[in-house]
Chains A and B, each alone.
Chain A
């Protein structure tokens, strides 16, 4: 995996698709590894008898917290080192289970100049190979303009005009 060339605001158009980020097929080992890494002991993510027999789920579930990080990866990659994924909203609307291949996707829904930078409003989500959406959301990403400075880090919302915050 490698960073894309730095994207500038002038090169982006409404309707542009972000490059998909594909993960999987996911196995129970992937789910167990995530639960262990964050010390999340919720049984529905690793205990199949509990998930199926007690909680009446179809299988153990891919953690929502794992899916959120996949979407943040999608946005960080698109923003590049000179941009900044500022605001993100997402909902866990549907379950994902082992065996699925998950694709994080995004689309540019709006663009506006924001002071010295460009502000992109994005639609985002995660679909499985059947096309079922599980994690719809939206994001606001600051991009540099051509010839302009990178978005400052630490990022402070003060660089965005008040009307756009």
Chain B
């Protein structure tokens, strides 16, 4: 059942979700270190210039600046999200935004990526491990041409396992 089908107003959901803002999740470490072939695929798929991340002899040493955002993959012991693809209406997305953050109990029918704000500190090196600390920053309601939406801001800080900052992001998630 979608939010529209519940008959509840977005304001009533907002009242329940607002107290969750500021909640943080325990720091998590990516399932594996930065792998050269994973970075190669990433550079090729984003159609980037590999020379930017190689040393003078052409060996890949670094990953692109926002690569750590995509390092938090499914672990070998985690359920396969594609099992739900037999449901023709399943959109392919997990409902938990970050492991350890409180669930957002809002029956959205569509989820949109609204954008990002970033601060970058350094590129991650091949072989390094990456950790992420996440928290809910804010949630608010806006009316648009296609109806009302909830805007959820999620803050993430990425650092190496030694605690060296890599980047900080604030993601805007739009739920309808």
Contact = CB atoms under 8 A, between A and B. Distances in A.
A73 B122 contact: no
Interface in A18-44: 23, 30, 33-34, 36-39, 41-44
Interface string B82-125: 10000011111100000000000000001111111111111100
Contacts of B128: none
Contact of A39 (B74, B111, B117, B120): B74
B128 to A, nearest CB: 12
Interface residues of B, number: 42
A13 interface: no
Contacts of B91: 42-44, 50, 55
A137 interface: yes
B64 interface: yes
Interface string A37-62: 11101111001001000110000000
B46 interface: yes
29 contacts: A33-B44, A33-B45, A34-B45, A36-B45, A38-B42, A39-B73, A41-B81, A41-B82, A41-B92, A41-B93, A42-B111, A43-B92, A47-B92, A64-B113, A65-B70, A65-B113, A66-B45, A68-B66, A68-B116, A72-B64, A72-B65, A73-B49, A73-B64, A85-B65, A88-B116, A89-B118, A91-B172, A92-B113, A137-B115
Top 6 closest pairs, chain A to chain B, by CB: A37-B45, A91-B115, A154-B122, A41-B92, A64-B113, A69-B46
